[in-house]
Amino acid sequence: MAVSEDSDQPSPSNKTTTDDDHSLVLDLSKDDPLFEQKKKLLQEKGFSPTERVYFSSSSCFACVNTTLETLLHRARVIHLNETELYFGEMNIDPPEEFYSPRNELEALNFIISLIDISLENCIHEATSFLQDLRSAAVQKVCDFGEKYKFETRTVENVCDKEKLLLQWAQSNGVKSRLRIAYVEDAGRGALAVEDLRIGETALEIPVSMIISEDLVHESDMFHILEKIDGISAETMLLMWSMRERHDSNSKYKIYFDTFPENFNTGLSFGVESIVALEGTLAFEEICQAKEHLHSQYDKMFPALCDSHPEIFPPEFYTWDQYLWACELWYSNSMRVMFTDGSLRTCLIPVAGFLNHSICPHIMNYGKVDSSTNTLKFPLSRPCRAGEQCYLSYGNLSSSHLLIFYGFLPQGDNPYDLIPLEIISDQESCFSEEGYSTSDSTTHMVRSTWFSKNHGIFHYGLPTPLLNHLRKAQNPCASTVTRANLENELEVLETLRSIFDAMNDGFGPVEDHWESHTWDVKLAVNYLYMQRRIVSSNLNSCDEGSKMVKDLWVKCMAEDVRG
């Protein structure tokens, strides 16, 4: 299920102001659940939670760029999510800052909307500076997008079913600046018909086109389903869609006709591919997900078909059809906030053709616009005519994408995290800051190539994890003394043994997997990615140990010299 990025992000309209002295204010909201950690990080960088950035109305190229950089440093921190914050601390020194594509795009879009608000209220002499500042921010978004651009190869232009769906959607009020085509390795995708600029709407869907729980409520199965103890709206929607897809009179027939016979997600993996995943997170998750779905199915079937065969015809409610519906909803649904404040899982015709990227064009799409009663998909970065327009399905790990969507994203995924359960006798030094709640702390690692800081006391590893282990062995640790260096070596040894055990737990990498089925190929690719993450951490431990040993030898030599 895709989740828009705007759900827990600060909104620019009530967090920013301007004043007559030509300044912009970036305010870290006290309502932010990560307020304390962000405030601490801002202070470590020499900023306060409410920062006024001054500019002069006589704009020059250098002033514009300096102002933009200053704004960006703060905006990045304001827009960090919990994971980025966990890994972010290591970039304090050196000051080079980059947290994730998501964070960079959110921060730049936040600044652009802040400038737009200011331009609406601004006095004449500041206008030109603000316009230049806006252009510089937009250019930065474009340059950033170019770095992450993945070329789309169109393998086939759209076929009849998709054409029919677009025509039907447009006749029902859908406004689209996208066309649908078959793209390499991703089924169908949505391509921009014309150049789309930042802030413009690529797609607009009237609420009347959205499939949500309302349709179940109106159907003849609702009075039966509502009597099932603890049944969720999502399960009801599964039941509804299992029958609806076969109904030739359905209002959504044209839409259902566009779905494939098989979704090929991890939930359909065969035994060979599941075995290939052994030792990885995905192995545990896939087994749990399958077990859960089987038990859900067994609770309802064949009982419902036996008691109400006219409403639940047995041929539509087999295990295979249930799995198909689960895969449909997991891979195509989106969470939408309606104007009454309700948050619902929905299927959205046409929007369901948008593929996912870790550097998407569309990030904030989850709220129905009350003035138009439509769901809009605005661009957070520009998309050129013919380019594939990508959505963010949320900050999802590759194991989640593999299991519930059946693909692995292009590029390095900053949300590929490996949790580490580290038990210590002492309370964690990060407990007040929310990283841990008790002696048993879940820390995590990801590929260390995301880190810019591989120096002494950092090694590309997350600072909260290192501090936790240092705390466990020796409180207060990052100055170069013999005792601290010995402690560092112990910390790195501990981590090395954890990563070694992970590596040993993985199954063998196959040599000739090209000849295998789709699921084994995906599983082996995933396994390969996991191995790379663990080996990047092992390398960091080894290089860190070497660096610490060299320094230790120097310290010893100095001690001997007195």
Compute the least distance from the CB of residue 473 to ligand SAM, in Å: 43
Q: Tell me the C-alpha to C-alpha distance, in Å, between residue 212 and each of 112, 143, 296, 309, 453.
A: 33, 38, 21, 24, 47
Residue 60 makes CB contacts below 8 A (sequence gap 6+) with none
Residue 382 and residue 141 in contact, taking contact as beta carbons nearer than 8 Å: yes
Which element (helix H / strand E) includes 36? Answer: helix 35-44
| Residues forming beta bridges with residue 343, ordered by sequence position | 337
What letter would DSSP give residue 362? B
Tokens of 184: 């390499």
Tell me: does residue 269 bind ligand SAM (CB under 6 A).
Answer: no
HEC string of 135-195 equals: HHHHHHHHHHHHHCCCCCCEEEECCHHHHHHHHHHHHCCCEECEEEEEECCCEEEEEECCC
Residue 322 makes CB contacts below 8 A (sequence gap 6+) with 238, 242, 293, 297, 301
Q: Tell me the C-alpha to C-alpha distance, in Å, between residue 540 and each of 445, 446, 457, 465.
A: 12, 12, 11, 14
Options 88, 409, 414, 464; binder of ligand SAM; rule CB under 6 A: 409
Strands (DSSP E) found in 424-532: 440-445
| Residues forming beta bridges with residue 51, ordered by sequence position | 26
Residue 211 and residue 347 in contact, taking contact as beta carbons nearer than 8 Å: yes
Compute the least distance from the CB of residue 260 to ligand SAM, in Å: 7
Residue 501 and residue 461 in contact, taking contact as beta carbons nearer than 8 Å: no
How many CB atoms neighbour CB 162 within 10 A? 20
Tell me: does residue 188 bind ligand SAM (CB under 6 A).
Answer: yes
Tell me: does residue 245 bind ligand SAM (CB under 6 A).
Answer: no
Compute the least distance from the CB of residue 515 to ligand SAM, in Å: 21
Tell me: does residue 255 bind ligand SAM (CB under 6 A).
Answer: no
Phi and psi for 81 in degrees, rounded to 5? Answer: -100, 180
- Whole-angstrom Cα Rg for the chain: 26
Options 406, 414, 460, 464; binder of ligand SAM; rule CB under 6 A: 406
Near ligand SAM in 273-332, by CB under 6 A: 331-332
Residues that bind ligand SAM (rule: CB under 6 A) add up to a total of 16
Residue 324 and residue 241 in contact, taking contact as beta carbons nearer than 8 Å: no
Tell me: does residue 356 bind ligand SAM (CB under 6 A).
Answer: yes
Tell me: does residue 185 bind ligand SAM (CB under 6 A).
Answer: yes
Q: Which is nearer to ligand SAM, 392 or 453 (CB)?
A: 392
Q: Which stretch binds ligand SAM (CB under 6 A): 31-39, 184-192, 216-224, 292-300?
A: 184-192
Compute the least distance from the CB of residue 397 to ligand SAM, in Å: 14
Spatial separation of the C-alpha atoms in residues 422 and 445, rounded to whole Å: 12
Strand order of the β-sheet with 154-157 is 154-157, 178-183, 187-192
Compute the least distance from the CB of residue 401 to ligand SAM, in Å: 8
Q: Which of 559, 522, 532 is nearest to 263 (CA)?
A: 522
Compute the least distance from the CB of residue 362 to ligand SAM, in Å: 12
Compute the least distance from the CB of residue 353 to ligand SAM, in Å: 5
Q: Which stretch binds ligand SAM (CB under 6 A): 185-193, 342-350, 378-386, 417-425?
A: 185-193
Compute the least distance from the CB of residue 105 to ligand SAM, in Å: 17
Q: Which stretch binds ligand SAM (CB under 6 A): 50-58, 181-189, 237-245, 536-544?
A: 181-189
Residue with tokens 């440093």: 73
Q: Which stretch binds ligand SAM (CB under 6 A): 11-19, 55-63, 182-190, 243-251?
A: 182-190
Spatial separation of the C-alpha atoms in residues 347 and 325, rounded to whole Å: 12
Residues in the chain: 562
Tell me: does residue 186 bind ligand SAM (CB under 6 A).
Answer: yes
Options 55, 87, 353, 526; binder of ligand SAM; rule CB under 6 A: 353
Q: Which stretch binds ligand SAM (CB under 6 A): 140-148, 179-187, 455-463, 496-504?
A: 179-187
Q: Which is nearer to ligand SAM, 258 or 448 (CB)?
A: 258
Tokens of 65: 């760029």
Q: Which stretch binds ligand SAM (CB under 6 A): 37-45, 152-160, 400-408, 413-421?
A: 400-408
SS3 of 369, please?
Answer: strand
Tell me: does residue 530 bind ligand SAM (CB under 6 A).
Answer: no
Options 10, 49, 88, 352; binder of ligand SAM; rule CB under 6 A: 352
Compute the least distance from the CB of residue 390 to ligand SAM, in Å: 7
How many CB atoms neighbour CB 505 within 10 A? 12
Tell me: does residue 400 bind ligand SAM (CB under 6 A).
Answer: no
Sign (positive or negative) of CA dihedral 117, 123, 128, 129? negative
Options 67, 81, 355, 413; binder of ligand SAM; rule CB under 6 A: 355
- From residue 500 to residue 519, what is the string marking binding to ligand SAM with x (rule CB under 6 A)? --------------------
Options 1, 119, 187, 384; binder of ligand SAM; rule CB under 6 A: 187
Residue 191 and residue 388 in contact, taking contact as beta carbons nearer than 8 Å: yes
Q: Which stretch binds ligand SAM (CB under 6 A): 187-195, 487-495, 506-514, 515-523?
A: 187-195
Q: Which is nearer to ligand SAM, 63 or 186 (CB)?
A: 186
Tell me: does residue 407 bind ligand SAM (CB under 6 A).
Answer: yes
Contact residues: ligand SAM, CB under 6 A:
185-189, 331-332, 352-353, 355-357, 405-407, 409
